[in-house]
Structure 1
Amino acid sequence: MSATGSVYVIENDAALRDSLSFLLASSGLTAQLFDSAEIFLAAPPPLHSGCILTDIRMQGLDGIELLRRLRAMGHAVPVIVMTGYGDVQLAVKAMKLGATDFLEKPFDGEALVEVVRSALLPKWLAAAKSGWGTDLTLRLASLSQREAQVLNCLVNGQTNKEIAREFDLSPRTVEVYRAKLMTKMRACNISELVRLAIKAGAFPN
């Protein structure tokens, strides 16, 4: 099944905007560029197909407020947010507001294209709730109570030391739990762990 629709890129940084445009175009994807969320919302394109790729931190209207307004307008268009390093809490907030996925900068070009193509697939939401969603739920259910608690703390942006103090553990023990979480959830890094946890329904709106 091929990806369809335009990618609406919303990014203040002109250099990054142009780089994203080139990357998407070289991958056979159609991109429409917007300097800001305000410009995008002033005359929004038809949103019955395609997806939005937006930075989460922008001057003026940021990615979080954009998501709120899209939700208030009743749009169900897939939204992918780009976050800075360490913006896990913002990414969680974005996904609870309806973002489809998030990418942490600096990101790999191939990874971005893969995420965009997934968002452009027809019936993306139904697919996410079918077998793949069930598999994620099973991964989540395989966690022990302590592993689930550590996961919750990681998603909320807490450090290993903070988690250790909260549960009266050593930082080394927290590292062990974290490694087990990565293995059971099949995540390569904390960003992917957060995405998988939210998509599995661990942290509903």
Structure 2
Amino acid sequence: MSQSGTVLIAVRDGMLADSLRFSLELEGYETRFCDEHALSPILRAPHLHGTCLVLDQDVFSRVAEVGESKLPCDPCVPVILMVSQKTERLLAKARTGGVTEVLEKPILGGVMLETIRQVIEKNGPSSQPMRSS
């Protein structure tokens, strides 16, 4: 089933980024790579309806290191955070940081694609209640 929408990919692991891009484009999504330095201008651009951001724990942490308490997202850009291990501290930081969904690695089956599809369909603000999948 072909999807529509854009997925911004901000992960430090190049192989993971390429794998995400490949599988997302097979599903019909447009993809775009960005890093923590490019996030702010990209995410503040107008007309991001139908877009979501997938980032890993490393990028999320680096954004916090530069003094951002919340991801610099337009409210209509949902954020999916991939983590190695869900901890209460990390989940609390994600909630206050504007994360929509937290997925724990390894992410098996179609969990990532289904989560992306759901958050783009909802296209709700990233401040909506975070679900831990």
TM-score by structure 2 length?
A: 0.74
Partner deviation per Cα, 1:44-103 (whole Å, 9 max, x = no partner): 5545311111112239824686671416xxx21111111112445313321233211111
Choose 1 or 2 for highest CA Rg: 1
- 2:82–2:104 CA contact under 8 A, matched in 1: yes
Residue in structure 2 matched with residue 68 of structure 1 by the alignment: 70
Q: Mind listing any 5+ residue stretches in structure 1 that lack a counterpart? A: 134-193, 197-205
Residue in structure 1 matched with residue 132 of structure 2 by the alignment: 195
SS of the residue aligned with 1:58?
helix
Structure 2 CA distance for partners of 1:12 and 1:31, relative to 1, 3 Å: same
Residue in structure 1 matched with residue 22 of structure 2 by the alignment: 22
Cα distance in 1 for residues equivalent to 2:95 and 2:56: 13
Q: Shift of residue 42 of structure 1?
A: 4.8
Structure 2 CA distance for partners of 1:66 and 1:5, relative to 1, 3 Å: farther
Structure 2 CA distance for partners of 1:32 and 1:63, relative to 1, 3 Å: farther
Share of identical aligned residues, percent? 26
Partner deviation per Cα, 1:162-204 (whole Å, 9 max, x = no partner): xxxxxxxxxxxxxxxxxxxxxxxxxxxxxxxx628xxxxxxxx
Partner deviation per Cα, 1:21-53 (whole Å, 9 max, x = no partner): 01111222111112x211333555545311111
Residue in structure 1 matched with residue 57 of structure 2 by the alignment: 56
SS of the residue aligned with 2:53?
strand
Residue in structure 2 matched with residue 95 of structure 1 by the alignment: 95
Cα distance in 2 for residues equivalent to 1:27 and 1:195: 24
The structure whose residues are more often helix, as a share, is 1
* Larger RCO (CA within 8 A; separation ≥ 6): 2
Partner deviation per Cα, 1:101-131 (whole Å, 9 max, x = no partner): 111111024000000011111x5439xx8xx
Structure 2 CA distance for partners of 1:60 and 1:86, relative to 1, 3 Å: closer
Q: Aligned AA for 1:41? A: S
Structure 2 CA distance for partners of 1:9 and 1:67, relative to 1, 3 Å: farther
- 1:37–1:61 CA contact under 8 A, matched in 2: yes
Moved over 2 A (4+): 2-5, 39-48, 58-67, 85-89, 95-98, 123-126
Structure 2 CA distance for partners of 1:25 and 1:80, relative to 1, 3 Å: same
SS of the residue aligned with 2:48?
coil
Q: Mind listing any 5+ residue stretches in structure 2 that lack a counterpart? A: none
CA RMSD of aligned residues (A): 3.2
SS of the residue aligned with 2:110?
helix
Residue in structure 2 matched with residue 171 of structure 1 by the alignment: none
TM-score by structure 1 length?
A: 0.50
SS of the residue aligned with 1:61?
helix
